[in-house]
Structure 1
Amino acid sequence: MSDLETLAAEAYVYGFPMVFNLDEVGRFTRKGMGSLPASPFNRFSHATGLAGPKDTFVSVNNDTVYSIAQVDLSGGPLLLHVPDAAGRYYVLQFVDAWTNNFAYVGRRATGTAAGSYLLTGPGWSGEIPAGVTRITAPTAVATIVGRWACDGPGDLPAVRTLQQATTLEPLDPDTPPPAGLPPLHDRVDGAELLFFEKLRTWIRAFPPSAADRTYQERFAPLGLLDETTPYAAASAEMTRALTAGYREGRERVEYATTHSDSPEQNGWKLTYGAFDYNLDFFETGTLNTPRWVIADRDTARIVRAASARAGLWGNHAYEAAYAMTWNDSDGQPLDGTQSYTLTFTAPPPVDAFWSITMYDLPDYYLIANPIDRYSIGDRTPDLHHDPDGSLTLRLQPQRPTDPEVAANWLPTPPGRFRPILRMYQPRPAVFDGTYTLPPITRVARRKP
């Protein structure tokens, strides 16, 4: 690769999280997503049920009912009010434009009593109302990802009541309308050049931390720091370099999703550090300790890109720990042409709840199945436990004929798939090795 191509590949890895993220931010304000109707900036969109196949979002969870708000603080601060959840698990996760998780409100972080918070943009100075906790966003545009525990259809009315009592409003009633995402040049053609145009535009609108601002100066030869677009009339040499760099960078990100340095346990990638790349912004509910921060910034950047690709808007592990696998106990790719078992001799140690959720490849989406079951966990009714208390799940595309096996059936897509184990409010045993995740084992085919 030429020097320009190499630089463009580095820029892709660096900028992919923000571009991917803000594309989703724009989609949520214009079109919504499945169970979440479109909602303008600074207003919550509340889902009316658990996510399913129509919710085309990377690694969307099937455990909680979502309340999501895209916020724009360019016009001034917003007042956030949360109701008394009476002990119910919930979390409001605050994500900046670069996908940094910079604050949490909810049962683990702040308790479940009613509360009020002032969400302010970078550089704001003003008077904070009495009884209100300030949360400063690193970028003017950010996302609040709300998740409400729900114990089934009968619990939905109670969740709906809590959602409706979760509100955003301007601190100043005369706040001007939100500016939203800055427009792109309308004459940049092709996915590759358009990616770099988005990155150039959004870098200027939502600058990163000081350390990353120094780092991104290296991309000046690509035109990423130009005030006006160089991509509407890019030279043939620049177009070739950006196109090659885009493709190489994309391959690096895809590779990193399955070849991370995360420890492995019985075939599972323990991706507990997948969202530890925030090194600069720690507000309410975050833990700024060496255990939860990737010290090396180069490592943090590739981890950030892979995490956005495979699990955008995921939590830090101290809020919800994630483990995922692409392979069975023999190291073979998980495939819907096979049948598998997963046996928990003891349930994952959590203070909230746990689940296994099934996703297809390469999109990491939920896939429709005959029983509309996309996850199994400790809240799934009528599971069959063995006499010793263990729980054996069956993973395959077709319904098992044995009723006891069918009770524990998690349908898989017909092709390649990847499950995620989620542990909400995990206990220390999850991290210190005391608890071991069981392998996914292929069921031997019977001889005819």
Structure 2
Amino acid sequence: MSESPITQPSDDDVVSAYLYLFARLLVARQENYDINVEGVGWNQIKYNPVGSAEFVNPNLDVAYLEAWVAVDAEHAVTLEVPQISGRYYTVQIMDVWGEVIANVNERNNADHPAGTIAFRLAGSTPTVDPGALVIDLPGPKAKILARVELKDTPDAAVALQQQFTIHAPDGVEIAPPPVVPDFTNTQLPGVEAFRVGPALLATAPDAMPDAARYSAMVSSVANYVATSDDAAAAVDAVIHTKAVPAFLAGTKGFGTQRNGWSVAFSAGRFGNDVLARAIVDYGGIWANVVDEAIYYVGQLGSDGELLDGSQTYEIRFASDEPDSLVDAFWSLTLYSVPDYHVVANPLDRFDINSEASLTTNSDGTTSIWLAPERPAEAGDANWLPTPAGRGFSLNLRLYVARAPALRGEWFPPVIQAVR
């Protein structure tokens, strides 16, 4: 019996398959960078220096530590978490799609907020300390990103950061980072994404409910690409004329949008929203779930145009905001686009946060000013320098947000273009 002929996928199927696959490519690219470029190694903690802005979309208000955990059916890996009180912290565990598996902290684990966490492969039964909090991983690899709030005592936060330790037994079998094509945030991958697609997906169990359908779509496109150079060229053309434009259009406003801001309330657990997952992995990889942090991305001024570093903008918060919206803290950070790194400026000021001594207006409101030079109306602490002649993006983070934000009833004020 002859096999069914391989047919050309529809343009819509190519676009859907590409958007699905792109999220996995982004995380795999980060894995390759962390392991092969930075060379930290598996089951080793990288204690990021306070104030470090080396990685994408950094939050400069916490002491970070990160690690790639690798387990197998015979071996578990443990993380020791110190006792932390009086400041925000969480141990965020993610899969290789950027989906959040768990957050360990005093809110989610009142009976085990610190001490030993044991990571094991789901379905396996390695020997584990009976007093450990066990986290089952859907695949053999996971990413840990722990945050400890700096508050006004960064030295104490760093001391706590250094008390996190990881322990791995000998003999864990670890696959090298998967092969992915070279690409950047300005030069996205073309048909080469599908040449590695099926092998890449085979390394990555996916919690997305509709994962099987999307995975089959990726395989179908990959099979067609392999039939001939003409087929590959046809798929490449669809990627560059339809899939990439659709993705980039999405980055300019996704999820819930208001006042020039966007927010994805599905961040960290995306359901079947392949576009939101790809966008978040692109611009804010390792985003947490909204119960821990809500991320409002500001990209449009009141004039409807993308934010321009040569212009002056005012964000005027109502009395007591954003403080009244969080149980932990908030921060507003400015990033370059499209690479989402902080922008150098003479003040070395990249964000404004809960610890800032902001000047209030006569009516009780608080204005944050965005401009290349400090506006005459702005108190020094209220000014965030912008990159003249370049675009930029904002990220307002609310850590442990209160009900109005969690329910979507509150949104950041408009980013008012003043001049």
Asked whether the two chains share a fold, i.e. TM above 0.5, the reply is: yes
SS in 1 for 2:190: helix
The equivalent of 1:65 in structure 2 is 63
The equivalent of 2:231 in structure 1 is 238
**300, 305, 315: which one aligns with 1:327:** 300
Shift in CA distance, 375/200, structure 1 to aligned 2, threshold 3 Å = same
Are residues 1:175 and 2:151 paired?
Answer: no
Could you tell me how far 1:180 is from its partner in structure 2? 3.0
1:342 is matched by which residue type in structure 2?
A: I
* Structure 2 runs not aligned, ≥5 long: 1-7, 183-187
8 Å Cα contact 1:429/1:435 also seen in 2: yes
Distance 2:311 2:277 in 1: 33
The equivalent of 1:425 in structure 2 is 400
The equivalent of 1:411 in structure 2 is 385
Residue correspondence of structure 1 range 29-428 to structure 2 within 5 A: 29-32=35-38, 38-52=39-53, 55-57=54-56, 59-74=57-72, 76-110=75-109, 113-151=113-151, 155-170=153-168, 173-176=169-172, 178-183=174-179, 191-209=189-207, 211-223=210-222, 235-247=228-240, 248-264=242-258, 266-277=259-270, 294=271, 297=272, 300-345=273-318, 346-348=320-322, 349-380=325-356, 382-400=357-375, 405-414=379-388, 415-428=390-403
Distance 2:23 2:288 in 1: 15
Bigger mean CA deviation after superposition, 142-151 or 3-12:
3-12
Deviations 1:314-355 (A, max 9, x none): 111111011122112232322112111111123121000011
Distance 2:303 2:246 in 1: 26
Deviations 1:60-104 (A, max 9, x none): 222212101011223621111100012321111111112111111
Distance 1:241 1:249 in 2: 13
**8, 32, 40: which one aligns with 2:14:** 8
Deviations 1:268-290 (A, max 9, x none): 2233333331xxxxxxxxxxxxx
Bigger mean CA deviation after superposition, 388-397 or 423-432:
388-397
Distance 2:143 2:44 in 1: 11
8 Å Cα contact 2:67/2:143 also seen in 1: yes
TM-score by length of 1: 0.81
TM-score by length of 2: 0.86
Shift in CA distance, 185/366, structure 1 to aligned 2, threshold 3 Å = closer
Distance 1:6 1:436 in 2: 33
1:407 is matched by which residue type in structure 2?
A: A
The equivalent of 2:3 in structure 1 is none
8 Å Cα contact 2:197/2:219 also seen in 1: no
8 Å Cα contact 1:355/1:422 also seen in 2: yes
Deviations 1:11-61 (A, max 9, x none): 2111111110111012112233xxxxx410111100121233xx141x222
Could you tell me how far 1:308 is from its partner in structure 2? 1.4
Bigger mean CA deviation after superposition, 240-249 or 127-136:
240-249
SS in 1 for 2:25: helix
8 Å Cα contact 2:334/2:393 also seen in 1: yes
The equivalent of 1:290 in structure 2 is none
Shift in CA distance, 101/436, structure 1 to aligned 2, threshold 3 Å = closer
8 Å Cα contact 1:72/1:180 also seen in 2: no
1:347 is matched by which residue type in structure 2?
A: E
* Structure 1 runs not aligned, ≥5 long: 33-37, 278-293
Distance 2:393 2:299 in 1: 5
Distance 2:349 2:339 in 1: 19
Shift in CA distance, 418/168, structure 1 to aligned 2, threshold 3 Å = same
Shift in CA distance, 158/275, structure 1 to aligned 2, threshold 3 Å = same
SS in 2 for 1:25: helix
1:41 is matched by which residue type in structure 2?
A: W
Could you tell me how far 1:302 is from its partner in structure 2? 1.9
8 Å Cα contact 1:6/1:245 also seen in 2: no
Distance 2:196 2:254 in 1: 27
How many pairs were matched up?
399
Bigger mean CA deviation after superposition, 160-169 or 244-253:
244-253
SS in 1 for 2:269: coil
8 Å Cα contact 2:35/2:177 also seen in 1: no
8 Å Cα contact 2:268/2:287 also seen in 1: yes
The equivalent of 2:414 in structure 1 is 439
The equivalent of 2:4 in structure 1 is none
SS in 1 for 2:401: coil
Deviations 1:388-430 (A, max 9, x none): 442211101123456x533311011222211111100001021
Could you tell me how far 1:214 is from its partner in structure 2? 4.4
The equivalent of 1:281 in structure 2 is none
Could you tell me how far 1:127 is from its partner in structure 2? 4.4
Task: Provide the alpha-carbon RMSD of the alignment.
Answer: 2.7
Shift in CA distance, 224/146, structure 1 to aligned 2, threshold 3 Å = farther
2:246 is matched by which residue type in structure 1?
A: R
SS in 2 for 1:330: coil
Distance 2:134 2:386 in 1: 44
Distance 1:254 1:193 in 2: 17
8 Å Cα contact 2:43/2:70 also seen in 1: yes
Distance 2:155 2:211 in 1: 45
